[in-house]
Amino acid sequence: MTKHYYSYLALGDSYTIGEGLPLYESYPYQVLQLLRKKDIHMHAPEVIARTGWTSTELAEHLLHTRLNEQYDFVTLSIGVNNQYRGLDIDDYKNDVEFLLHKAIHFAGEKQHHVIVLSIPDWSVTPFAKDRKQQKIAEEINAFNQVNRQLADLYKVRYIDVTQSSRSAAIDQSLLAADQLHYSSLEYAKWARQIASLMEQMITAK
């Protein structure tokens, strides 16, 4: 009997890449490792992400990039650079709506095979210590309210990583060397939640 290999498309920014870490410590690759340990056959994830990307830049890249017609799973993590650059939240809403349409299409029109991750809160990192930390946190909450509402509207899965990311305020081991992005320990928390959802979907077939 031919083994089915599942495919995974990860859309995002520096958090999706795992900025400053080896590739295998990024959360998409940790998802891959977790599922393979469960004897679930997975192709290596296709990662469409770049450090510094806003939702608009990710959307524009997708318009000009040829990808596979379909993937078994798609994750989306975007928005921190919109907040960082002080961009308009209504534009973000429009972009995320477009990105969700694309993600659902890539997932074969199976909304529940698309997983949106909330935006982590970088206000707790040493990088933000000389900035208006409360304002950053409030703005990230506002952006997350938008992506949460759209995830609910389009009936896709949603994982809140924001609360977990705030643990970096008291645990520096959760941060990468640049003191802004996260270490493999924080990404492991996200990966466990993503892999758990994917496994549920696979075993429910």
pLDDT class of 204 with cuts at 50, 70, 90: confident
Collapsed DSSP state (helix, strand, coil) of residue 70: coil
- Residue 119 identity: I
Domain assignment present for residue 3? The answer is no
Domain assignment present for residue 134? The answer is yes
Domain assignment present for residue 115? The answer is yes
How does pLDDT run across 157-171, given as a tens digit for each residue?
999 999 999 999 999
Residue 74, domain CATH: 3.40.50.1110
pLDDT at 100: 98
pLDDT at 3: 79
DSSP for residue 92: H
How does pLDDT run across 17-71, given as a tens digit for each residue?
999 999 999 999 999 999 999 999 999 999 999 999 999 999 999 999 999 999 9
Confidence check: pLDDT of 1 > 60: no
Order the strands of the 46-49 sheet from edge to edge. Answer: 46-49, 8-12, 73-76, 114-117, 157-159
Domain assignment present for residue 199? The answer is yes
Domain assignment present for residue 1? The answer is no
Domain assignment present for residue 196? The answer is yes
**65-to-11, 45, 61, 68, 102 alpha-carbon distances in Å:** 12, 16, 6, 10, 12
Confidence check: pLDDT of 205 > 70: no
By residue range, what is the domain housing residue 31? 8-203
Domain assignment present for residue 126? The answer is yes
Contact 74, 157 (CB under 8 A): no
pLDDT at 77: 98
Domain assignment present for residue 2? The answer is no
**15-to-39, 74, 205 alpha-carbon distances in Å:** 27, 15, 31
Number of domains in the chain: 1
